[in-house]
Amino acid sequence: MTATESRVADAVTRAPGWLARLGGSGGAGRRPRGDWPWAYLMIAPTGLGLAVFYLWPVVQTVYFSFTEWGAFGGHTWVGFANYTTLFQDPAVGQALRNTFVYSGLVLLGVPLSIVLAVLLNTPKLRGVSVYRTLYFLPVVTMPAAVAMLWRWIYNGDYGLLNYGLSLFGVDGPYWVSDGRVVLYAMAVVGVWTLIGYNAVIFLAGLQGIPQHYYEAAAIDGAGRVRQFFSITLPLLSPSIFFVTVLTVIGSLQMFDLIYMMMDRGNPALTDNRTIVYLFYEAAFVDNRRGYAACIAVVLLAVILTLTVVQFRLQKKWVHYE
C-alpha cells in the first residue's frame, strides 16, 4: 500500500471504532496475516455481486463520461468535451448550489433528532414504544401518499400551512411553485422523513450511556442542560458522526422529492433543480447519456471528497473510548 492508501485505510478503519468498547478497535493488530485467504473468501460473495451489478456500471459510467451517445446505443469518443461543457454550464453550478443548500438544511434536522431521542429516553415515560412506532411511520409510508399530503399542506390557496398563517394575518407564499421558498419547503419534508429513523439510532446510542454518569453529575450540582452538553453530546458523538456521514451522502442525491412534488410545468423547477435531477433530465429526457455520465462522475467525486474529509475531521470532535 502507498503512503496515501495506508492513511486512507487508517482513517476508514478507525471510523467505526467509536463503538469499540474499552480495549480498542477490533484488536486487529494482533491478528496473524495468514488470515487473508479467509478474508477474501468471506468478502467474495458481496464483493463479486457488487462488482458485477454495481461497480461495473460505475466504471462504465466513468468511461461513458468521455463519450457521446445515440438515443438507444452506439457511442463515439469525445474526450473531455463533456467535462468542458459541464464546467461551463451555468445550470450545473446552480444545481450544485441548490443541492448544497438542501443538504445543509436537512443536516439541521440532525440536532432535532437528537432532542427527540433525548425526549424518548425520558425515564419512566409511558408508551415509549408507541411513540417510537409513530415516529418511524414516515419511513414506511408510500412516497406517493407523502407527496400528495405535503402538496396539500403547501398549497398556496387552499393548503393547511397558509391557512394557519392567515390566522396570524400572514399571507403565505406558493410554497411549491415559488422559487424563493421551494427548497426550504422540500427540506422540511426531507427532515420529516428522516427524523424518526435518525432518532431511533440516537435513542440506541443514548441507551448505551451509563446512568451513573448522570447521577454523579447531578450530585456535583450540574443541571439537566449542563448534563446534556457535557455528558450526552460527547458520548453520543460517534452516533452523530455515523448519522451525519449517511445524511450527507443521501441528501446530496435528492431527486425523488422534486420528481414527485414538482410538475414539469412548475415555474420554480428550472432554477431549483438538484444535481441528480439534472442527471435524470440528461439521461432520460434529453437523451444525452454521455453528459449524464459526466454529471454522475462529478457528483461521485464531490461526495467521496466530502466523506473522506469527514472521516479525517472526526479525530477532532468524535469521542471514542
219: buried, middle or exposed (CB in 10 Å: 19+, 13-18, 0-12)?
exposed
Least distance from other proteins to the Cβ atom of residue 257, Å: 14
Alpha carbons 77 and 99: distance in angstroms, whole number: 30
Q: Please state, in angstroms and rounded to a whole number, the distance separating the CA atoms of residues 13 and 17.
A: 7
Instruction: Give the integer Cα–Cα distance in Å for 92 and 276.
Output: 10
Q: Is the dihedral of CA 139, 143, 147, 149 positive or negative?
A: negative
CB 97 → other proteins: shortest distance, Å?
18
Q: Minimal distance in Å, beta carbon 115 to other proteins?
A: 9
Would you state the cell numbers that stand for residue 104, as one nine-digit string?
445543509
Please state, in angstroms and rounded to a whole number, the distance separating the CA atoms of residues 101 and 91: 15
Q: Which residues of 50-82 are buried (b: 16+ CB within 10 A; e: fewer)?
A: eeeeeeeeeeebeebbbbbbeeeeeeeebeeeb
Q: How far is the CB of 169 from other proteins (least distance, A)?
A: 18
| 48/216 with CB nearer other proteins | 48
- State the nearest-atom distance from the C-beta of 9 to other proteins, in Å: 2
Give the nearest distance from C-beta 290 to other proteins in angstroms: 13
Sign of the Cα torsion 300, 303, 304, 305 reads positive
CA contacts within 13 A on the Cβ side of 146: 20
Cβ 110 to other proteins shortest distance, Å? 13
A 10 A CB-CB count for 120 gives 19
